[in-house]
């Protein structure tokens, strides 16, 4: 019995000693904005990733970390072993969700509590589409439609798109919309290695922090591609896995269409209008990835406005409907600074990547930066506690 106790104490000491720096260190360079492949291997060597991966390896139970990745087939399509899909709660397999917290991960977020609340979310942006000097059917015009109705929403940001449009993240954040993580490349998460997935989260997190001075709490797996391995890693990194309601279906299917005609757009809007009824609260899935999807989102809002007092639902961000904070710490106000984002090319690595636009970095006086001191103090306490546990474990071992 004593050897087992000693092993458990050593495992606990390892977890306590692990350090996940928050706010995250800025990377030496941002990954490419090409979403056709995962983040390149050389970007996985940045301390932003290696430190977080070490933390994950020290804190996530091995039975989750050792779940094999699926096989990538195409965007939003991966081949998952049929004999383990149910055991590992692979979402595309019968829309499996985890409804309870466990020792390895938090429960999935799939709906808002209560009745008649619409958790409003938009994925894949930000995007900018300027026609004759005016924004049309893009993130700025969608945000304008929301603001005109005094509505707030959750925007799940793709890092590669955010890097190209950091000002849009700042504006959405400043106007009170919730910013969430949607990975860097929008690659199916289960097809990634542990290191690749950590990189997808941390680079996007760092980019959002660089733009807003705040660290998100919510992330959404691209295409809902998630299993228990991905849930556990995301939980260790401080995130709640956020999906959308499937019973009844609250996916607009806007991003699934191959025919971007006005008739298809109207058909989707008409389908979403069937949601305009008293019901159990839900979380929807819409997109601001293209003029087609953003246009649909704006038209849906126009229909809500037209319904007037007869509209029975309250629309709000996911964090609001759950009565949970959007961000870690209290950082809700963008900071300003003249410092710039990392370069686009890793130091000591020769590669060709897209240029990284300059973006203000948080100042030392920002709310989340202030909390970093507490985090550092906690790390020191953790390491002292770890040392004590190691000592106790050694005594147990000697007693055997």
pLDDT tens readout for residues 33-49: 988 899 999 999 999 99
Place of tokens 């025919």: 259
Dist CA 352 CA 355 (whole Å): 9
Whether the Cβ atoms of residue 55 and residue 18 lie closer than 8 Å to each other: yes
DSSP state of 191: G
Query: Which one is the CATH code of 29-361: 3.40.50.2000, 3.20.20.370, 2.102.10.10, 3.40.190.10?
Result: 3.20.20.370
Average pLDDT over residues 195-214: 98
Q: In this model, does residue 352 exceed pLDDT 80?
A: no
| Residue owning tokens 């299993």 | 227
Above 80 in pLDDT, residue 387? no
Instruction: Report residue 158's pLDDT band, with 50, 70 and 90 as the boundaries.
Output: very high
Better-scored residue on pLDDT, 169 or 333: 169
- DSSP codes, 259-318: ---HHHHHHHHHHHHTT-SS-B-EE-BEE-SSHHHHHHHHHHHHHHHHHGGG---EEE-H
| Closest by Cα among 163, 237, 226, 231 to 198 | 237
**Predicted local distance difference test score (pLDDT) of residue 375:** 35
Identify the pLDDT of residue 84. 95
- Starting at the edge strand found earlier in the chain, the sheet holding 117-119 runs 282-283, 117-119, 314-316
The pLDDT value given to residue 276: 99
pLDDT at residue 19 in the model: 86
Mean pLDDT, the chain, rounded, equals 84
Is the model more confident about 187 or about 329?
Answer: 187
Work out the average pLDDT over 304-311: 97
State percent of the chain over pLDDT 90. Answer: 76
How much is the pTM? 0.81
pLDDT at 331: 42
Segment 236-251, tens digit of pLDDT: 999 999 999 999 999 9
* pLDDT tens profile 251-295: 999 999 999 999 999 999 999 999 999 999 999 999 999 999 999
């Amino acid at each position: 019995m004593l050897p087992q106790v000693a092993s458990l104490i050593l495992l606990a000491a390892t977890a306590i000693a692990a350090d996940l720096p928050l706010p995250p260190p800025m990377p030496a360079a941002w990954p490419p904005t090409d979403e056709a492949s995962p983040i390149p291997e050389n970007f996985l060597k940045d301390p932003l990733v290696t430190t977080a991966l070490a933390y994950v390896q020290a804190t996530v139970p091995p039975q989750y970390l050792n779940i094999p990745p699926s096989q990538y087939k195409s965007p939003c399509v991966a081949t998952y072993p049929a004999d383990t899909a149910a055991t590992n709660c692979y979402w595309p397999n019968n829309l499996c969700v985890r409804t309870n917290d466990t020792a390895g991960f938090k429960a999935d977020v799939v709906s808002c509590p209560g009745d008649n609340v619409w958790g409003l979310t938009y994925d894949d942006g930000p995007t900018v589409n300027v026609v004759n000097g005016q924004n049309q059917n893009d993130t700025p015009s969608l945000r304008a439609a929301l603001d005109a109705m005094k509505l707030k929403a959750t925007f799940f940001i793709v890092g590669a798109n955010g890097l190209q449009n950091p000002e849009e993240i700042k504006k959405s954040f400043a106007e009170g919309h919730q910013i969430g993580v949607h990975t860097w490349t929008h690659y199916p998460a289960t097809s990634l290695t542990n290191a690749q997935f950590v990189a997808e989260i941390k680079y996007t997190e760092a980019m959002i922090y660089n733009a807003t001075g705040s660290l998100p709490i919510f992330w959404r797996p691209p295409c809902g591609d998630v299993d228990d391995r991905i849930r556990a890693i995301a939980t260790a990194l401080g995130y709640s896995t956020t999906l959308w309601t499937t019973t009844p279906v609250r996916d607009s299917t806007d991003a699934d269409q191959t025919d971007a005609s006005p008739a298809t757009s109207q058909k989707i809007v008409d389908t979403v209008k069937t949601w305009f009824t008293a019901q159990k609260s839900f979380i929807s899935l819409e997109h601001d990835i293209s003029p087609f999807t953003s246009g649909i989102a704006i038209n849906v809002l126009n229909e809500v406005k037209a319904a007037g007092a007869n509209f029975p639902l309250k629309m709000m961000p996911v964090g609001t409907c759950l009565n949970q904070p959007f961000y870690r710490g209290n950082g809700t106000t963008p900071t300003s600074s003249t410092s710039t984002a990392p370069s686009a090319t890793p130091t000591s690595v020769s590669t060709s990547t897209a240029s990284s636009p300059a973006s203000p970095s948080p100042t030392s006086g920002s709310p989340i930066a202030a909390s970093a001191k507490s985090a550092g103090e906690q790390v020191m306490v953790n390491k002292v506690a770890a040392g004590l546990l190691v000592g106790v474990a050694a005594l147990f071992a000697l007693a055997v």
